Structure 1
Amino acid sequence: MAPRFELKISFVLTLLLSTTAPRAEVLLRPDVRPAAVINEIAGIVGREFFDKDGLGPFGASASRFRDMALSGAGLAEASEAWLATLGATHTGRFTPDQIDYYELAEVFHRGLGRRRMDLFPPEGVVTYPGIGIAPRTIGEKTFVAYVYDGGPADRSGVLAGDEILAVDGMPYAPIASFRGKVGRSVSLEVRRAPNAAPLAISVPVETIQPRDSLMNAIRESARIIEKDGRRIGYLRLWAFAFSGVEDLVMELLASEPLEGADGLVVDMRGRWGGAPADAADIFVGRAPRVELTERDGDTHIANARWRKPIVGIIDAGSRSGMEILAHGLQSAGVPLIGARTAGAVVAGRAFLLADNSLLEVAVLDVHIDGERLEGVGVTPDIEVPQELPYAAGADPQLDRAVAELAGMLAS
C-alpha cells in the first residue's frame, strides 16, 4: 500500500537536505543590547502570558533581573531565572546554540512570520547541522538523552545513556561541534560505563530538518518484538507537533510490520507534544477504516484505527499534547508503564526576539475532562524507574511494557 504523497515528498526532502551545502549560520546578534532584550521579554510576557494574576512576581523582579543581565551573570542566566518566576511550563528563552531552538522554531514556524525567512534563507526552511541526538546535562556531565531512530547517530551505534566526552577532540557543543562539517564524519568520543575507557564512534554529520528528522524517526521506530510466541508491535511517537504526523501514524498502523502484530506498545516518551485532543481515537476509537483508491490503482489510507490490545509508555519527557494522549488512553483502559509525565499542559506560543533568540510563552491554560494537568502530569499504572547515565541502550520501561502486553495476550 503506497504511502501518502505528502510523506513521499517529506522523505525526498530529507535526503536532499542531508546532502546539500551547509546553510548560513544562525547566530545571536551582538549589536542588540541585553537591556533591549529584557525590555522585549517584559512586553511580550505582559501582553501574552495566560495568567494575569501570575504576573506579580515577574513584574516585581524586573529591575533585579535587568541588573543581573547587565552584570557578569549575563542575559542567558538572568532571563532563565526571571521567566521561572512565572511558575509555568512552555515558558523560556532559547538560543541558536541549542537543538531546542531549531525544533521549537519548526514547531511554531507559522507564527514566526517573515523573520523566519531571514534566519533560514531563502525559503525559511529550519535546519541545523547535527547527528540526530538530543543531549541532557546531569551535574557536570553531558549524556545522550535521545537517539533519533534512523538518524546518523542511530546508524552509527550511539546509544542513549552514553556520556559525551568530545567531538573531534574538542568539548562537545550541540550545534557548534558540527558547524562546517556537513557531508563529513566526526569522531564522537563517549563513555558507555562509569570509569570505562573512552569509545570513539565515527558519525556522519547531516543537515537536519527537524520535522523530517522526527517524522522519519517515527517511521523508523516501527518494528516487531518477539515475546513468548507473540508478535508485539512497537511505535515511538517522537513528536505530534508537525503536519502529517497523524497520517503517518495511521499509515504505519495499517501496514506491515505493525498491521500483522498481535498487540501494540505505543511509546509516548517523545521530544515534543502537539497531539490533537482526539489523538487517542487513533488507538482506541471505533471509526471505520477508510481506503481511497485512485484511477491508477494507488491506494491511500484516509482513516485507520488500531483494534488490538495496546500498552503505553510514558516518562518525564512526555509533555503537553503527548500527556493529553496518555490521559485519553488511560481513560480508555490502556495500561501505562513508566514514570509520571512532565505536567506541562498549557498552550505555548513562540516569538523571535531582536537578538535572534526565541521566546516561548504560555498563552492558554488547558483543562482535560475538567482536570488541570499542568504541574500534575499523568501517573503510570505500573511505575518503572529508568536511569539515563550509562544505560548502554537498556530500556527497562520498554521491557516491562512488552512483558505486560504479552501477558495480556496470553490471558
Structure 2
Amino acid sequence: MQRLLLSTLGFYIAFLFTSCAQAQTTILAETIIDKSQLEYYLVQAYNQATAESRIAINHIGLETESVGSIQVASAVIEGYPAHHSGIRRGDKILQVNGMEFHPVYSFNELHTSGRVIPHLDERFNIEIDRGGIVQSLSISPVHENLYDSYRTAGLNSPQQFNVGNKVIGYMRLWGLSRSTNDLLSIKSMIDELSQCDGIILDLRDASGFIDITLLDLIYRTRNNYYETAGENTSSFSLDKTVTISPGYYSRPLAVLINKNTRGGAELLAYQLNKSERVVTIGEATNGKIGGYRLDNQAGGYRYKPATQALIDGEQFEGVGFTPEISIDYPISQTTRSDPQFENAATILQGMI
C-alpha cells in the first residue's frame, strides 16, 4: 500500500508511517465514569437490552474536551442542535444561561433520587469563544438516549461528491453495535454508496462493538480476519460460524481515525488496514478495547482494561493502532477545513 501511495502521491511522503506501526504501550487503569460525565450515558445505553431501559437526557449533540478550565468542542454530531446552531470543533464553550458550561448539568440536573432530570427550559443561551471572538447562540436540546442519537447521525451521514471525474462517497459511524437492525442499517448505507468509485469511512470519535457481519460487508472472504486469544475477549471476538451474507463493497476505502476512536471502532480500522485497497488516515488510537460493568457502590460504570487479551498475538489494550498516514487535526483549529477529510479525498482520487 505504501509503495502505491508513494508512486501516485509522492507529495504525501512526509505523512507516511510504517504500516501497522504500534505506539508505545500505555498501561490503562481501571476507571469509573459517573453520571456527571456524558460518556456514562453512552456506556449505559450500549449495555441495555431494550430501548426502554436506556437513559434519555437533554443534550445538543456535542462532545467536548477539557483544556485547562475550559470545555472545548471536540466533535459536533451532524443533524443535532449544536450542528444546526453553527458550533464548530475547536469552539470554547463558555456559559449556558449565564452559568459555567457543563456537558451534562447545563441541560439536566441530578435529582436526590439519583435520577437525571431534564431542565424544563425549551431554549438555552450559549456563549462560545471562537478565535477570541465571543458569540451568543440560542439552542434547544433534544431529549434522547445517546445510543439512538449516534445511530441517527450515522444513518443521516451518507453523501456523494465529485472529485475530478470520480465520485467519492462518505459515511460516518459514530457507534457500532451487534444489533441486527443496526447492522442492516449499515448495509443499507454501504448499498447507497455502492456505485461510488471509493468511500471515505469516518470512524473518528466512534466507539461500540465490532461484529463479523460488518466486516463481511467489505471483505469477500474471512481468510485474514484478526484472531483473538487470552482473557475477556467476548466483546470483540469474531464469530466465524455466522453465515456469510452475499455481496460486499470491493472498491477503495479511506478510513479516518483519531485518538477518540475506541473499542470496536479501532479494531474495525485495524482490520480494514490489512487490505491493499484500504488506507487509514488520521491520528493513532489509544487501544481501549476493554469492557464496562456497573459498579453501584462506586456510583458509575467501571472500565476493565483488556490487558490479557491478544489481537493477532499482540497486546492491543494501551497500544492501539497507528494509521498509515498521520495527519494532525488540532482541537485549536476552528476553521471549517478538515485536513484529514481533505487528504482522504485527494488520496482516494489517486487510488481509484
TM-score grouping bracket, smaller chain normalisation: 0.7 to 0.9
Structure 1 residues 360-369 or 206-215, which shifts more? 360-369
Relative contact order higher in (CA < 8 Å, ≥ 6 apart): 2
1:214 aligns with 150
Among 334, 341, 344, the residue aligned to 2:285:
341
2:43 aligns with 104
Displacement of 1:325: 0.9
Paired with 2:187 and 2:121, the residues of 1 have a C-alpha distance of 33
1:387 aligns with 330
Paired with 1:366 and 1:106, the residues of 2 have a C-alpha distance of 25
Contact 1:163–1:390 (CA<8 Å) still a contact in 2?
no
Displacement of 1:349: 2.9
After superposing on structure 2, the runs of 4+ consecutive aligned residues of structure 1 that deviate more than 4 Å are: none
Displacement of 1:336: 0.7
Paired with 1:138 and 1:131, the residues of 2 have a C-alpha distance of 20
Among 78, 90, 104, the residue aligned to 1:161:
90
Paired AA for residue 152 in structure 1: P
Paired with 1:406 and 1:281, the residues of 2 have a C-alpha distance of 25
Per-residue Cα deviation, 1:210-268 (whole angstroms, up to 9, x for no partner): 1210101111221123222322111111111362332211011112xx23322101111
Among 186, 194, 200, the residue aligned to 1:249:
186
Per-residue Cα deviation, 1:107-144 (whole angstroms, up to 9, x for no partner): 1224xxxxx9xxx9xx4231111111111112222111
Paired AA for residue 259 in structure 1: S
1:224 aligns with 160
Per-residue Cα deviation, 1:294-327 (whole angstroms, up to 9, x for no partner): xxxxxxxx76521222111111111121121111
Paired with 2:158 and 2:319, the residues of 1 have a C-alpha distance of 30
Contact 1:349–1:363 (CA<8 Å) still a contact in 2?
no
Displacement of 1:166: 0.9
Contact 2:200–2:255 (CA<8 Å) still a contact in 1?
yes
1:28 aligns with none
User: Greater strand percent: which structure?
Assistant: 2
3-state DSSP class of the match of 1:284?
coil
2:207 aligns with 272
Paired with 1:356 and 1:285, the residues of 2 have a C-alpha distance of 45
2:174 aligns with 238
CA spacing shift, 1:392–1:204, aligned 2, 3 Å = farther
3-state DSSP class of the match of 2:137?
strand
User: Matched residues, percent identical?
Assistant: 26
CA spacing shift, 1:145–1:211, aligned 2, 3 Å = same
1:69 aligns with none
Displacement of 1:354: 3.5
Unaligned runs of 5+ in 1: 1-85, 111-115, 288-301
2:4 aligns with none
Paired AA for residue 267 in structure 2: I
Displacement of 1:367: 1.8
Per-residue Cα deviation, 1:190-227 (whole angstroms, up to 9, x for no partner): 1121x2x2111222111121121010111122112322
Q: For 1:2-401, list aligned pairs within 5 A.
A: 87-88=27-28, 91-110=30-49, 123-179=52-108, 180-181=118-119, 184-193=122-131, 195=132, 197-241=133-177, 243=179, 244-255=181-192, 258-277=193-212, 279-285=214-220, 304-333=247-276, 334-345=278-289, 347-354=290-297, 356-362=299-305, 365-401=308-344
Paired AA for residue 129 in structure 2: R
1:403 aligns with 346
Bigger radius of gyration:
1
Contact 2:72–2:90 (CA<8 Å) still a contact in 1?
yes
2:15 aligns with none
Paired with 1:220 and 1:226, the residues of 2 have a C-alpha distance of 19
Q: Given the two structures, how large is their TM-score scaled by the length of structure 1? A: 0.66
Contact 1:211–1:242 (CA<8 Å) still a contact in 2?
no
Unaligned runs of 5+ in 2: 1-25, 109-117, 223-244
CA spacing shift, 1:396–1:374, aligned 2, 3 Å = same
Contact 2:306–2:317 (CA<8 Å) still a contact in 1?
no
2:8 aligns with none
Q: How large is the RMSD of aligned CA atoms in angstroms?
A: 2.4
